[in-house]
Structure 1
Amino acid sequence: MQPKALAISIALALCAAQAHAAGNAVPTSAEEWFAAGRAAVETSKHVVPNRARAKNVILFVGDGMGVSTVTAARILEGQMRNADGEFNRLSFEKLDHMGTSVTASANQQTSDSAPTATAMVTGIKTNDGAISVDQTIERNEPSATVTRAKSVKTILEQAEERGMSTGIVTTARLTHATPAVNYAHIGNRDWEADSNLPAGATVADIARQLLEFPYGDGLEVALGGGRSYFMPNTASDPEYPSQKGRRKDGRDLTKEWTTKYKQSAYVWDKAAFDAVNPQQTKHLLGLFERSHMRYEADRKDDVAGEPSLAEMTEKAIKMLGQNKKGFYLMVEAGRIDHAHHAGNAYRALTDTVALSEAVEVAKRLTDDQDTLIVVTADHSHVFTIAGYPSRGNPILGKSAIDGVASTDALGLTYTTVSYANGPGWTGGFQRKEYNPATEGSVAAPYNGSALRPNLAGIDTTAPNYMQEATVPMGSETHAGEDVAIYASGPNAYLFRGPQEQNVIYHVMADALGLNKGGHGHGHGRGRD
């Protein structure tokens, strides 16, 4: 093609590319792909760093949402809409700025959620299992005095001190590691109720710390699961009457919430949640399950009903947004992590899509000019996308090229997504019995079944299918690679390249104008 003709073609294709981008349509020619790439660059040139002071900060955490999870969820969401999944983008992938987060904790190469979430809300790195305390604490430190001395003030606590409104939304238990780091300080993340504490311990359990929160006027919004950790072991659960609470101190923290806070409400089902008026309620506690809330794919099966992550996010923002001094909110899609541990990609990916919907709500209800939105993960998982499947092949299906199933060296089909370890069927026990010396013999004919399952006739896209794992384990593990950070609003431009995870706190705190002239008490110890 001649240069002039090429220029005209590109100009026309550029217009088409912009239309494609607006409608999420896929380019269909070389010229359109070229122009779409060029249009992306031109669009990026108009992104101006926002150096304004933030009024609000919303931190979204996809627990266990590694890059491979984001990619697969992007494809699945598109395919669920009968669109091109590879060209699709989740809502948070469209935010203006992006970086990566180094998730190693102070003592672990591959970390759990406690130190990684702590890093994001306190600005320091600590040890595995630790909730907003520094790395010098012992995992099972029972003393309240010692724990207090090693505590590190969180961004939520600082926001409350300033008079801002604060909230936590999660699909996990409110006492689980990621939400707990905002308001609790304890050496062992498992001490969620007093019945979990060792004998003689004086440190308050995590649920109790939510009610005895000493800063400002307390959290305005706390929505998630974990009802049993707030109820005494003599009280029947309102949704499951045959089951009791977990507290042995006799305290009913759900009742204490409404006693402590004026214009407050406690809800445990969808109807009561929907009835809450954001303009009339100042403090809202919602506990929608005894333990974790249901996966997004299973919410419809809950008789009492559970709000979606997007619905909880909307209610929280409408409540918190009434404060002229601004707000801090953490929103966690906590069950992405749990589905991965169970080797169940379908639920991990559909919960990731639910997070995308929650971010979309937040974008609609806030303004980039005064609200910093950060979307990231605490850590990744050993979840992988492999093979050479054709574009459009079902992401949860068997790898295939132009409809022809791909096979491994044993002649067996395999799925596109799988795990490096976990509970997925690997033929592990048969592998132990396999004897290479008798391979191919009449006594032990070799057909590959000793090493891998035959997936013929198995629907690997089914919600309950457990993806294969290379190393058999009772529970799939976290992974140690960096995770992505997506951001928009004030200070979002500061997320670039690989950064230590604790930098996330410092970007958010700087956006709000916190810690000017220092943290206020050394490197952050104490709860003054």
Structure 2
Amino acid sequence: MLFLISIVYIARCDPDPSDNKFWQNMAIKRILQYESKRMTKMYEKEMAKNVIIFIGDGMGISTVTATRILKNQLPILKKIQEKQNSDEMNDENMTELWKKLQQSEDGSLSFESFETVALVKTYILDSQVGDSGACATAMMSGVKSNFETVGVSGKVKLNDCLATMDPMVRVSSIIDWAQQQGKSTGFVTTTRVTHATPAALYAHSASRYWESDDRMIMMMKTVNRSEHNEWNSEFCKDIARQLIEDEPGKNLNVIMGGGKRNLIPKNDGQRQDGRNLIDVWLDDKKQRGLTAKFVSNSEALRKLDTDKIDYLLGIFADNHMSHEADRNDTIEPSLALMSLKAIEILKHNPQGFLLIIESGRIDHAHHLNNAYRALTDTLALDDAVEHVVQKINKSNTLILVTADHSHVFTFGGFPARGNPILGIDDQTSDSDKLAYTTLMYTNGPGYRKLRENLTEINTIDRDYIQQTAIPKRWETHGGEDVPLYASGPSSEIFAGIMDQTFIPYGISYATCMGPMEPLFFIMSLCFQQQFHQ
């Protein structure tokens, strides 16, 4: 029977990568291969009730490795600094701390103990190296799309507003699928809530940059109006309005992050249409008889009685939230706190929930060649994973940790064991005899025409900008595969090397929701047949 199903689905495969079904059929083929192996092992069928996806924006393998080492080194380096400042340092203390530093490569991040590990291909439809918008669309909707578009198929080119008016190009996401299944949904991010990665969950836009109507108006002033004479703000809504006014955005139970400026009028924000979308959100929930709350700082979030609400909008910064290294805890909550509060609300639903948690500013620090902030933001993600895993029911919750793309961030040289990961190699260049850092970038603003002598520079400082080989104002993404870590029901389906478009279909299958729901039931029948033979 499984053989016949395989023939039917493979026959349906469309060879056109710009067609939405192309990537879905690829996912079906992978699931059939997976189930064929699993049936021979006589595993019982499992279904995930809840799904939590952690996204480290720009968290490539080199970032994960460097963060793992930094996690172990930071407390030791702080002790060394404290003892040096207090004149308590002696040879015995130094020897003890040095031994601990030499073991810093042996530790692990919280998610590195997950039972399933994979590599994910991140190329997009029109580029070998993807951006967050198109990569997030692949990860949330299972469709390859074009550079800097969100929530649309490959039929839509960048800035082609009119093309998005066709409902057929607006791809559904895992948020849609979960809501249709009756699950609660939400996301938390350290970026603006309208930024590229979260936008792919709920919006359909020919440009990831159309977060507010001011950016769309600016675009209209710079393009040939004759080509856009049918442009209408009611059809081509900015991303913020789609979040607050349209499905599935307005049905999200939890929305937390930064980006207040895109939600309020131009006197205090950037909106040109005079709308206060925070008020619109509150009014919508009131009219529908829903219990909702808006919060804007850490204290309000901590004190929030989550048993009394089912909808939460938390906006904690005008722009992006601060990097973890700069965060004021009285104003901006940690990623871990936002995640835990989100779960407290979402778990009210007996049907289960879907939650996306993004540490989005890893990416921004990498773009500026600032390794310290990139790694400490990755540590914040690690901390959030650790807290969440302790909170949830592992037996019915599928957890994924992955990245949308990588960065041209390198970890090299021949530093000795225990060498500070943010420090310099203990060897110098054999060409110019100058020192170099273990962590560097291929390109970006850290380029220097003349190499500097690093022996007098504190490369561990949070503001230090790593050196690069090629000058660019903004460091680029990397095109290599990114890691994925999975735990929970059906997590083994995510093992191996996969295309990014498989992730949402794998989730769909593991939860029996969305486009893979029929296949789930077909395979369940196959299992029953197999077990009764």
If the TM-score is normalised by the length of the shorter chain, which range does it land in? 0.7 to 0.9
Matched, 1:357 2:383: yes
After TM superposition, give the deviation of residue 149 of structure 1 in Å: 2.9
SS of residue matched to 1:260: helix
Residue 296 of structure 1 aligns with which residue? 324
Structure number with the higher helix fraction is 2
State the shift of 1:368 in Å: 2.2
Contact 1:117 1:177 in 2 (8 A): yes
Contact kept? 1:270, 1:307, Cα under 8 Å: yes
Q: Tell whether 2:141 aligns with 1:108.
A: no
Q: Give the structure-1-normalised TM-score.
A: 0.80
The equivalent position to 1:209 in structure 2, one of 242, 259, 262, is 242
Write the mapping of 1:296-445 to structure 2, written as runs, cut at 5 A: 296-300=324-328, 305-400=331-426, 405-427=427-449
What is the CA-CA distance between 1:517 and the residue it aligns to? Answer: 2.9
Q: Alignment partner of 2:338: what SS?
A: helix
Asked if 2 retains the 8 angstrom alpha-carbon contact of 1:169 and 1:224, the reply is yes
Q: Which amino acid aligns with 1:291?
A: N
Q: Which amino acid aligns with 2:477?
A: H
Q: What is the distance in 2 between the residues matched to 1:336 and 1:368?
A: 27
Question: Which residue number corresponds to residue 233 of structure 1?
Answer: 266
Aligned position for 2:16: none
Moved more, 77-86 or 491-500: 77-86
- Distance in 2, matches of 1:88 and 1:518, equals 40
1:25 match: none
Sort the Cα spacing of 1:486 and 1:256 in 2 relative to 1 into closer, same or farther, 3 A.
Answer: same
The residue identity in structure 1 corresponding to 2:316 is F
Measured after TM superposition, the shift of residue 123 of structure 1 is: 1.1
1:253 equivalent to 2:277? Answer: yes
Distance apart, 1:281 and its partner CA: 1.4
Kindly indicate whether residue 184 of structure 2 is the aligned counterpart of residue 165 of structure 1.
Answer: yes
**CA distance in 1: counterparts of 2:62 and 2:461, whole angstroms:** 20
Q: Is the CA contact 2:202–2:248 (under 8 Å) kept in the aligned structure 1?
A: no
Q: Distance in 2 between matches of 1:470 and 1:217?
A: 45
Counterpart CA distance in 1 for 2:508 and 2:365 is 32
- Distance in 2, Cα, partners of 1:490 & 1:125: 26
> Partner amino acid for 2:126?
N
Could you say if the C-alpha distance between residues 187 and 217 of structure 1 is closer, same or farther in structure 2, counting changes exceeding 3 Å?
A: closer
Show the 5 A alignment for 1:261-280: 261=285, 262-280=290-308
Q: What's the counterpart of residue 500 of structure 1?
A: 499
Give the Cα separation in 2 of the matches to 1:87 and 1:406.
26
Q: Give the corresponding residue for 1:283.
A: 311
Aligned equivalents of 1:49 and 1:351: distance in 2? 38
The Cα shift of 1:142 comes to 2.3
Give the superposition deviation at 1:128: 1.0
Q: With the length of structure 2 as denominator, give the TM-score of the two structures.
A: 0.79
Q: Give the distance between the partners of 1:107 and 1:58, measured in 2 at CA.
A: 29
Amino acid at match of 2:518: G
Of the structure 1 ranges 82-91 and 498-507, higher mean CA displacement relative to structure 2 is found in: 82-91
Matched-pair contact (CA < 8 Å) for 2:339–2:357: yes
Alignment identity in percent?
Answer: 44
Which of 47, 52, 62 is the aligned partner of 2:56? 62
Give 3-state SS (helix, strand or coil) of 1:178's partner: helix
In structure 2, relative to structure 1, the CA distance for the partners of 1:210 and 1:50 (3 Å cut) is farther
Instruction: Give the stretch that moved more between structures: 207-216 or 311-320.
Output: 207-216
1:4 alignment partner in structure 2: none
CA contact (8 A) 2:126 2:146 kept: yes
User: What amino acid is the match of 1:462?
Assistant: D
Does the aligned pair in 2 maintain the 1:141–1:147 contact within 8 Å?
A: no
1:119 aligns with 2:143: no
Counterpart CA distance in 2 for 1:320 and 1:387 is 46
Q: Distance in 2 between matches of 1:112 and 1:408?
A: 36
Please state whether the residue corresponding to 1:346 is helix, strand or coil. Answer: helix
* 1:453 counterpart residue number: 452
- Summarize the Cα distance change of 1:518–1:140 in structure 2 as closer, same or farther, 3 Å threshold: farther
Distance 1:273 1:144 in 2: 40
Q: Show structure 2 runs of 5+ residues with no match.
A: 1-41, 77-99, 221-230, 521-533
SS in 2 for 1:224: strand
CA RMSD in angstroms comes to 1.9
Q: Which residue of 2 aligns with 1:80?
A: 74
Give the distance between the partners of 1:130 and 1:492, measured in 2 at CA: 29
Q: Distance in 2 between matches of 1:217 and 1:160?
A: 11
Read off the aligned partner of 1:280 and give its amino acid letter.
Answer: K
Task: In structure 2, give the amino acid aligned to 1:457.
Answer: E
CA drift of 1:164 comes to 0.7
1:462 shift after superposition: 0.5
Which residue number in structure 1 is paired with residue 490 of structure 2? 491
Shift of 1:144: 7.9
Which 5+ residue runs of structure 1 have no aligned equivalent?
Answer: 1-47, 235-243, 428-449, 520-528
**Structure 2 counterparts to residues 92-107 of structure 1, below 5 A:** 92-107=111-126
Please tell me the residue identity of whatever aligns with 1:333.
Answer: S
CA distance in 2, matches of 1:406, 1:453: 12
Equivalent-residue separation in structure 1 for 2:331 and 2:249 (angstroms): 33
* Alignment equivalent of 1:134, drawn from 141, 150, 153: 153
Task: Determine the C-alpha separation between the residues in 1 that align with 2:45 and 2:337.
Answer: 30
Shift of 1:145: 6.2
